Homo-oligomer: A and B are copies of this chain.
Amino acid sequence: MKPIAVDAFGGDHAPKEVILGAFLAAKEFNLDIVLVGKENELEKSIEDISKDFSSNVSQKITVKDAPTIITMFDKPSVAIRKKNSSMHVGMELVKYGKACAFISAGNSGAVMAIAMTVLGKLKGISRPAIGALLPTVNGSVLLLDAGANVDCKPIHLLEFSIMGSVFIKHMLGINKPKVGLISNGSEPGKGNSLVIKAYDLIKSSALNFYGNIEGNEIFSDKIDVAVCDGFVGNIILKTSESVPTIIGDF
């Protein structure tokens, strides 16, 4: 398998935590990993961390130099012009067949915009979506769009349903993933004007459509893919993540 490219300068406590993660993944999954970022800054950390791993693991880690860093404050429109960034260089490794995937824990708007610019979109897909695989009582659910597209048209929700189904089929081996459309009521006809129109589109597709699901059913294992626009998805994700913290504070 081709190596996986990883943005060494994306995410909290980068690059150190990212490098450590790369070593752990290389060991656990027997993967080759290319860390992308400022070469001179990476080498010292890699040397330190490699002491805790066998040479078998260490030789699975390589570095690809990328002198520029995209911060959390860079707007996507600015980020796409930073051609030497770790995101841009990493994405090009995929484009030119040097890596099979690119992973970044950095500025998600920038990752999205650079992916669109460098890799483009699949035929038939007009907007990319952010998919978040969330834990449920007995498994997981893919929430998408988790934040890429704040204003959507019905066709976009159908496209998200298709992409989510393909992802879950190949990543989790579920043959006919159940797609739920997030709404304010389970009955057909419930929803805002976007969701009501998307319901009909998804229902008449070849997907395994469960129908509308309410907020309290997202984590219930009734569905494999939960579809919504990126505004709603972002709020669901952040609200859900915050609730356990609050309970802990009581």
| Cβ distance A176 to chain B, nearest Cβ, rounded Å | 24
Are B250 and A236 in contact, CB atoms less than 8 angstroms apart? Answer: no
Are B236 and A215 in contact, CB atoms less than 8 angstroms apart? Answer: yes
Measured in the bound complex, the distance between the Cα atoms of B231 and A54 in whole Å is 53
Q: Which of B184, B220, B231, B245 sits near A234, CB closer than 8 Å? A: B184
Measured in the bound complex, the distance between the Cα atoms of B239 and A231 in whole Å is 15
Measured in the bound complex, the distance between the Cα atoms of B245 and A236 in whole Å is 16
A212-242 residues at the B interface, CB under 8 angstroms: 214-220, 229-232, 234-242
Stoichiometry, copies per complex: 2
Q: Which of B183, B215, B238, B241 sits near A237, CB closer than 8 Å? A: B215
| Cβ distance A173 to chain B, nearest Cβ, rounded Å | 23
Interface size on A, as a range, is 35 or more
Chain B CB within 8 A of A136 CB: yes
**A248 closest partner in B (C-beta):** B137
Chain B CB within 8 A of A192 CB: yes
A71-119 residues at the B interface, CB under 8 angstroms: none
* 30 A-B contact pairs sorted by A residue (CB < 8 Å): A137-B246, A137-B249, A147-B184, A150-B191, A150-B193, A184-B230, A184-B235, A191-B231, A192-B229, A214-B234, A214-B235, A215-B234, A215-B237, A215-B240, A215-B241, A215-B242, A216-B239, A216-B242, A219-B242, A219-B243, A219-B246, A220-B242, A220-B246, A232-B232, A235-B235, A236-B239, A243-B243, A244-B244, A244-B247, A247-B247
For the A-B complex with A184-B235, A247-B247 known, give 10 more contacts whose Cβ atoms are closer than 8 Å. A137-B249, A137-B250, A150-B191, A184-B234, A192-B229, A195-B231, A219-B242, A219-B243, A232-B232, A236-B236
